[in-house]
């Protein structure tokens, strides 16, 4: 059984993961509207991945016998600027998520809640990968900034992204 405080914090994190999914779906729609179909595909998979993150927390809370009061999900923005701006907004959002996960990990440790801490370490590690992937895309977009052909090449590369379902979900 986990403490009331950690349960509340995990439900907040669950909401943030759903918001992330929603944000990336909005980014995908925006990219589609600009005919960046590779980026639209990439963000659509990012939406699905965030949904998996939310499910991971949800499953854990259920396993711990917690009651779950779901909160409303905030409305995401719908305009993002250039393709580079979209990925920069994505990076800023992931950095925000990392800060929250680090704080939440500290709280779990303080409560000597090692089960929740373990769950959170999975997320902390995932953030390293997520930030690094987005930073790489940003670096490429900066290299070709202003060059239509280069941007289309990157958009094409983004269309090759795949996503599986983790076996533990």
Using rule CB under 6 A, residue 53 touches ligand FEO: yes
Judged by CB under 6 A, the residue of 9, 50, 113, 155 near ligand FEO is: 50
Using rule CB under 6 A, residue 97 touches ligand FEO: yes
Using rule CB under 6 A, residue 51 touches ligand FEO: no
Task: For residues 163 and 122, give the distance between their C-alpha atoms in angstroms, rounded to a whole number.
Answer: 18
Using rule CB under 6 A, residue 27 touches ligand FEO: no
| Terminal C-alpha separation, the chain | 21
| C-alpha closest to that of 155 among 92, 83, 80, 82 | 83
Using rule CB under 6 A, residue 130 touches ligand FEO: yes
Using rule CB under 6 A, residue 43 touches ligand FEO: no
Task: Report whether 58 contacts 80 (CB < 8 A).
Answer: no
The minimum distance between CB 24 and ligand FEO, in angstroms, equals: 8
| C-alpha closest to that of 86 among 134, 22, 35, 140 | 134
| C-alpha closest to that of 115 among 64, 51, 66 | 64
The minimum distance between CB 16 and ligand FEO, in angstroms, equals: 8
Q: Enumerate binding residues for ligand FEO (CB under 6 A).
A: 17, 20, 50, 53, 94, 97, 130
């Amino acid at each position: 059984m986990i403490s009331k405080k950690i349960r509340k914090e995990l439900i907040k994190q669950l909401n943030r993961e759903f918001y992330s999914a929603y944000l990336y779906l909005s980014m995908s729609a925006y990219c589609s509207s600009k005919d960046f179909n590779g980026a639209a595909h990439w963000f659509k998979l990012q939406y699905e991945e965030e949904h998996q993150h939310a499910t991971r927390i949800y499953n854990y809370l259920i396993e711990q016998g917690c009651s779950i009061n779901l909160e409303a999900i905030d409305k995401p923005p719908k305009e993002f600027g250039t393709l580079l701006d979209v990925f920069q907004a994505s990076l800023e959002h992931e950095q925000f998520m990392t800060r929250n996960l680090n704080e939440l990990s500290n709280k779990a440790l303080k409560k000597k809640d090692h089960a929740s801490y373990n769950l959170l370490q999975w997320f902390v590690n995932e953030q390293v990968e997520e930030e690094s992937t987005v930073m790489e895309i940003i670096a490429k977009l900066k290299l070709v900034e202003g060059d239509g052909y280069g941007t289309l090449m990157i958009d094409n590369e983004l269309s090759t992204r795949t996503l599986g379902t983790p076996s533990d979900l």
